Amino acid sequence: MCSVINIALNNNLILTVVIQANNSERKQLRQQLRKARQSLSTEQQQDASIKLLNNIVANNIVDNAQICAFYLANDGELNPKPLIEYCWSKGVKTSLPVIHPFAKGHLLFLQYSANSKMCSNQYGIDEPVCELPDIVPLTQHQLIFTPLVGFDLNGNRLGMGGGYYDRTLSSLKQQANISLIGLAHDCQQVDALPQENWDIPVNKIITPSRIINC
């Protein structure tokens, strides 16, 4: 069985991808969407990052939060660094995910500030040095901003394929006071994502131009 998925590109063109279902579908779709975001120029990435900040500030998304989880952009992901710095300026604490040292395939969240000691993980991504006093339990967050490779309007999220966020966030299904927010370029939207029963959807998708309540 084949699926037809339309990918929105930044120049208002639609890329139509015909792919086999289901694991093969996710793999091919992931490749196409990663290429789309990687193709953005440095100038486009910087512009998208500032527009993301303006969009979130204009809609008061983070102002009432005490602790927000973020990520450091990699592989063409939408860069939340200006938003992180805005949070610092407002006294909102921030955290970053690190690969859990004991629970395989899970993430641990550590306090992150301008003075945090950093190191590179096994994927070459910067993360805070794992120190016990800096651990922030998931349940202490009000907002968790996640990266993603692709999304649809129902809040379904396609990640890089490692399952780290899905495993880690599965315990939050009943936590109504914690909002999961996916950050993405507009070109990462598709009509519908093939889903597995372990996939964790997000409550909102925020792009440089839109806020999508899912």
Binding residues for substrate: 72, 77
Q: CA–CA distance from 142 to each of 66, 134, 137, 180 (Å)?
A: 7, 17, 11, 9
Closest by CA position to 106, among listed 63, 77, 135: 135
Q: Which of 31, 77, 54, 89 is nearest to 184 (CA)?
A: 77
> Binding site: which residues?
26-30, 72, 77, 157-165
| DSSP β-ladder status, 93-99 and 67-69 | parallel
Contact 112, 143 (CB under 8 A): no
- How are beta strands 179-183 and 204-206 bridged, if at all? parallel
Provide the H-helix boundaries in the chain.
Answer: 23-38, 42-58, 81-89, 164-169
Residues in the annotated binding site for ATP: 26-30, 157-165
Max Cα distance, the chain (Å): 52
